[in-house]
Amino acid sequence: MLSRIVFLFVIILNKYVSRASDPDPVQDFCIPITKPASSVIQCKNFSTVTVEDFVYSGIKERGEFGQTGLSSTAVNSNVFPGLNTLGMSLVRADFEVDGINVPHFHPRATEIAYVLKGKVYSGFVDTNNRVFAKVIGQGDVMVFPRGLVHFQMNVGDTQATILGSFNSQNPGLQRIPTAVFGSGIKDELLEKAFGLSSKEISKLKKRLAPHRLS
Ligand SMILES: *[C@@H]1O[C@H](CO)[C@@H](O)[C@H](O)[C@H]1NC(C)=O
C-alpha cells in the first residue's frame, strides 16, 4: 500500500528534478579548500596535493544496517574531495537478507549498478509510471536513468552487495517515503493526497521520520 501511494508522487517530484550535468573541469584536478565564512570553493595549492588526495578507503567494509536492512555508503565529493570537478562518484550498498533500498532518485546523475554479490530485485519507474524491474545477480549491471525513481530488494538467501557509479560528483539522493511523509508537509494535504486518515498519516510520519532510515 505504501509503495502504491509512494508512486503517485513520482511524477510530481520529477517536475522538480534538475537536468544539469556537472561542469567540465578547467584544470587537471581541484582538491577543494573552503575558507571559513565563505561558500566559495578554492583549490588546494597544487604543490601541497599528494597521492593521498586521490585515494579513499571508506568502503572497504560495509557500514551498519539500517531499519530497512540496507547499509549504503556514498563516495561523493563531500567525503572524497579528490572527486571535485571530475563529474563522477560511487556508492556501496549492502543488503541484509530481505533488506530493501526504498524507492529513491538521484536528481543529478544516472546510476550504473554492478552486483558484486547476491540476488537483488532491482528496478526503476519511468515518468509514465511503467516499472522496469527484474532479479539481477552477481556480475550483472543495471542502469537507472537520471532522475528516475528506483529501488532494490535482496531476494537471495545471503547478504548482497552492489557498487553504484554516478556521472556526478554529487548525485544527490531523495528517498520518496521520507520526502513525502518525513519532511513536515501538512497532515491535511497528505490526507487529501492519499485518502488516508490522520491516524494513518501519523503512523507513516512516525515510521518515516528521516533519522530512522539509513
Ligand atoms: C603554492 O605553494 C608554493 C610552494 O610553497 C608557493 O611558492 C606558491 O606561491 C603557492 N601558490 C599560491 C597561489 O599560493
For ligand 1, mutation pick of 33, 45, 49 (most atoms within 8 Å of CB): 45
Nearest CA to ligand 1 atom 12: 45
| pLDDT of amino acid 99 | 98
Q: What is the pTM of this model?
A: 0.83
Per-residue pLDDT of the chain (214 residues; tens, 9 = 90+): 556 655 555 444 444 444 457 999 889 999 998 766 667 778 999 999 999 999 999 999 999 999 999 999 999 999 999 999 999 999 999 999 999 999 999 999 999 999 999 999 999 999 999 999 999 999 999 999 999 999 999 999 999 999 999 999 999 999 999 999 999 999 999 999 999 999 999 999 988 876 544 4
Cell 563531500 found at: 78
CA nearest 7: which of 145, 167, 123, 111? 123
**CB of 47 closer than 6 A to ligand 1?**
yes
Fold classification of 2-26+60-212 (topology level): Jelly Rolls (2.60.120)
Beta bridge partners of 9: none
Sheet containing 89-95: order of strands: 70-75, 89-95, 160-166, 111-117, 141-144
| Domain spans, the chain | 2-26+60-212
CB 147 within 8 A of CB 104: no
